[in-house]
Chains A and B, each alone.
Chain A
Amino acid sequence: MAAAPSPRAWVFAGRRPAARSAYALAAPAFGLMLLMLIGPLAAVIALSFTDYQLGAPSFAWIGLANYYEMFADRVFWISLKNTLTYVAIVVPGAVALGLGTALLIQSGAGLRSWYRTIYFLPVMATLIAMAIVWEFMLHPQFGLVNGLLRAAGLQGHSWLQDRGTALYALCVIGIWQATGFNMVLFLAGLVSIPKHLYDAADIDGAESAWSRFRLVTWPMLGPVTLFVVTISAIRSFQVFDAVQVLTKGGPSKSSEVLIYTMYTEGFEFFRSGYGAAVTVVFLAFVLLLTLLKSALGNREVHYA
């Protein structure tokens, strides 16, 4: 058969045995996709317009009532603000440190895989277990952090118990965990930069490390950087584990974040409808980030 089948061939394809087995092969996957992904996605949006509560005998369509309630709720706004603060700190932190580490590793030959392994270790290790270790390191009395501060003659602090610092302590854990992941993505990007570009820059008189970075490395890393920033932002929006175990959103909501709000509403109070409305807000942000990435990504193509 020709490489590009005529429309007719497509129509009749349904009768060919290969096509029939194609449907059989794909059916389980697409059935489950509808049941576990597309269906639930539609359901979460629909649920956000109802007053459904788990176990309730019936429910009613209540239009935008969940959204009105949410937008009037102080806790929702605190939660949103905290999530955005978390993203605004963790993304630049983990991206800059990941890039810096990748550049440093790539700038020499010694101990490369050794460093890569160490920086990647936090990505591997179960976050919940490590969050509990961080909690003990931040222990006001017996923790390592305050111990070192005391040894340096500084005042210790109740990092996770103070409403002024709890969110920032969680940011530190987030950056610690995400840096290695970003580093590996940047390393892959650095390796793929053709060496002749650096030679060309050399000939053009770009001698300092900084000018080589500015003229070659940074522009060539553009698409990778865009990708790393978006994926870091999406992952930061999902912050939950450390919050649930270490602070429960406290003290006095100072570390309340979106997914944690969704969790308490949807799975502790079983207010499914209201929890769904919070989920929709979360989804909107993730969608916005994805769109932003593809919009910028398309523009970026010309430079790559």
Chain B
Amino acid sequence: MTFRARALLWPAARHFLLSAGALVMLTPFIWMLSTASKPQTEIFSSDLHLIPYHFALWDNLRTAFAKADLWRYLLNGLIVTISIFGLQVLIALPAAYALAKLRFLGRDLLFALVMFCILIPPQATAIPVFLLLHKLGVLDSYAALVLPFTISVFGIFLMRQFFKTVPDDLIDAARMDGISEFGIVWRVMLPTAIPAVTAFGIFSVVAHWNDYFWPLIVLNSEHLQTPPLAVAHFRNNEAGTSYGPLMAAALVVIAPLVIAFLFAQRRFIEGITLTGIK
């Protein structure tokens, strides 16, 4: 094979292989959309077709929203993820600043503890944390969904690494101006750290919007359900009978993050793979 022929063939082979893989990756999304757009009779037929003969997406969405209070569940998801992220920042940033820029006895020990805690998988602490929330009497509430995640050791680690790169002069200047250490965290450090906080925010929101394990354990009440729990509940009630509305509900649950991702994919990829950079 001549060099020229190879130079022409390789891009074609590359696109062929990558497109084939991309098709496999996309198939569940395509099939979800297709099924959500089909009326019952077309879903329960052995004749496979991608484009529905009769377009029923709006009917299926209407049914899904009628059978489950999806707006409420989306709102729950929003409340929980935003509360978790807000509290994580509120608690992690001051600690990260202290670890990065202040000298105090026990600092290295505390940082070693942070590094140790990063290694603890969330499932490992589930039983004791559940018992603790039970003792506090807050199971089956927003507090139960939010409290255990208010501490993000990974957030502390990440922000500490970032704060280390902030020049000391900036902090000294702020001290000269009479800003307290607490004020420095919010008025000097936070503004310089917006990119890192954004990346951490995406990481945190995606993780907790998609979390199924913890809400499943601590919730009983239907009206507190987060989106993943709601779609699983919908499936348990309806599976085998109404796949159209079920796929429509699944579509609604993944939509907010997927749309946000498509608009800012570089930032999302950066945020979600944060754990990969440490």
Could you tell me the distance between the alpha carbons of A190 and B235 in the complex, rounded to whole angstroms? 41
Q: Is A197 an interface residue (CB 8 A)?
A: no
Residues of B92-118 at the interface with A, using a CB-CB cut-off of 8 Å, are 92, 94-95, 97-99, 102-105, 107, 110, 113-114, 117
Interface size class of B (residues with CB under 8 A): 35 or more
Q: Is the CB of B104 within 8 A of A19?
A: yes
Q: Is B194 an interface residue (CB 8 A)?
A: no
Interface: A117 (CB within 8 A): yes
| In contact, A282 and B269 (Cβ under 8 angstroms) | no
* Nearest B-chain residue to A184, judged by Cβ: B273
B232 sits at the interface (CB 8 A) = yes
Chain A residues contacting B247 (CB-CB under 8 Å) are 133, 136
> B201 near A: Cβ within 8 Å?
no
In the assembled complex, the CB of B195 is this many whole angstroms from the nearest CB of chain A, namely 17
Q: Say whether A88 faces chain B, with CB atoms less than 8 Å apart.
A: no
Task: Mark out the residues of chain A between 88 and 110 whose CB falls within 8 Å of any chain B CB in the assembled complex.
Answer: 97, 101, 104-105, 107-108, 110
Binds B, one of A36-44, A61-69, A76-84, A211-219: A36-44
Distance of A9 Cα from B113 Cα, bound (Å): 23
Contacts of B61 in A (CB 8 A): none
B21 at the interface (CB under 8 A from A): yes
Interface flag for A201 (CB, 8 Å)? no
Q: A125-B29, A137-B27, A137-B31 are in contact. Are A33 and B121 (CB under 8 A)?
A: no
- B228, A118: Cβ atoms closer than 8 Å: no
Q: Are A41 and B131 in contact (CB under 8 A)?
A: no
Q: Inside 8 A of A30's CB, which chain B residues have their CB?
A: 95, 110, 113
A259 contacts across to B, CB distance below 8 A: 123, 213
B148 at interface, CB cutoff 8 A: yes
Whether A18 pairs with B25 at a CB distance below 8 angstroms is no
**Are A245 and B94 in contact, with the CB atoms below 8 A?**
no
Q: Which of B151, B232, B262 meets A128, CB within 8 Å?
A: B232
Closest chain A CB from B115 CB (angstroms): 11
Residues of chain B lying within 8 A (CB to CB) of residue A44? 124-125, 127-128
A240 to B126, CA, bound (A): 13
Complex interface: chain B residues within 8 A of A43 (CB) = 128, 131
User: Which A residues from 2 to 37 make CB contacts under 8 A with B?
Assistant: 5, 9-11, 13-14, 18-19, 21-26, 28-30, 32-33, 35-37
- Tell me whether B150 and A32 are in contact (CB under 8 A): yes
Kindly state whether residue B153 has any CB partner on chain A within 8 Å: yes
Residue B71, interface by CB 8 Å: no
Residues of B within 8 A of A19 (CB): 102-105
Interface centre among B95, B185, B268 (most CB of A within 10 A): B95
B44 near A142: Cβ-Cβ < 8 Å: yes
A144-152, A161-169, A296-304: which lies at the B interface?
A: A144-152
> B46 contacts which chain A residues (CB < 8 A)?
141-142, 147, 150
A108 to B: closest C-beta gap in Å? 5
B127 lies within 8 A of A272 (CB): yes
Q: Which single member of B17, B210, B272 contacts A126 (CB below 8 Å)?
A: B210
Decide yes or no whether B132 CB sits under 8 A from chain A: yes
A276 to B131, CA, bound (A): 12
- The CA-CA distance from A128 to B45 in the complex, in Å, is 25
B131-A286 in contact (CB<8A) = no
| Complex contacts, B268 vs chain A, CB 8 Å | 120, 124
A75 CB-CB contact with B under 8 Å: no
- CB within 8 Å for A121 and B258 given contacts A33-B151, A133-B32, A144-B27: yes
Task: Give chain B nearest CB distance to A4 CB in angstroms.
Answer: 11
CB neighbours (8 Å) of B123 from chain A are: 238, 240, 259, 262, 279, 282
Query: Does A245 lie within 8 Å of B232, measured CB to CB?
Result: yes
Q: Tell whether A176 is near chain B: CB-to-CB under 8 Å.
A: yes
- The answer, yes or no, to whether B14 is at the interface (CB within 8 Å) is yes
Q: Which among A125, A241, A287 has the highest number of chain B CB atoms within 10 Å?
A: A125
**Contact A33:B153 (CB < 8 A) given known A124-B268, A126-B257, A234-B121:** yes
Partner of A142, one of B21, B43, B91, B232: B43
Chain B residues within 8 Å of A107, by CB: 10, 14
A198 on the interface (CB 8 Å rule)? Answer: no
Instruction: Confirm or deny: B253 has a beta carbon within 8 angstroms of a beta carbon on chain A.
Output: yes
Q: Is the CB of B151 within 8 A of A272?
A: no
Residues of B within 8 Å of A111, CB to CB, are: 15, 18
**Residues of chain B with a CB closer than 8 A to A179's CB:** 25
B8 at the interface (CB under 8 A from A): no
Q: A43: nearest residue on chain B (CB-CB)?
A: B128
B45 touches A142 (CB 8 A): yes
Residues of B within 8 A of A5 (CB): 103
Q: How far is the CB of B185 from chain A (nearest CB, A)?
A: 7
- Nearest CB on A from B136, distance (A): 11
Determine the residue in chain A with the shortest Cβ distance to B148. Answer: A36
CB pair A290–B105 under 8 Å, yes or no, is: no
In whole angstroms, what is the CA distance A5 to B108 when docked?
A: 14
Question: Could you list 6 A-B pairs, sorted by A, with CB under 8 Å?
Answer: A22-B103, A104-B17, A108-B15, A111-B15, A125-B258, A130-B28
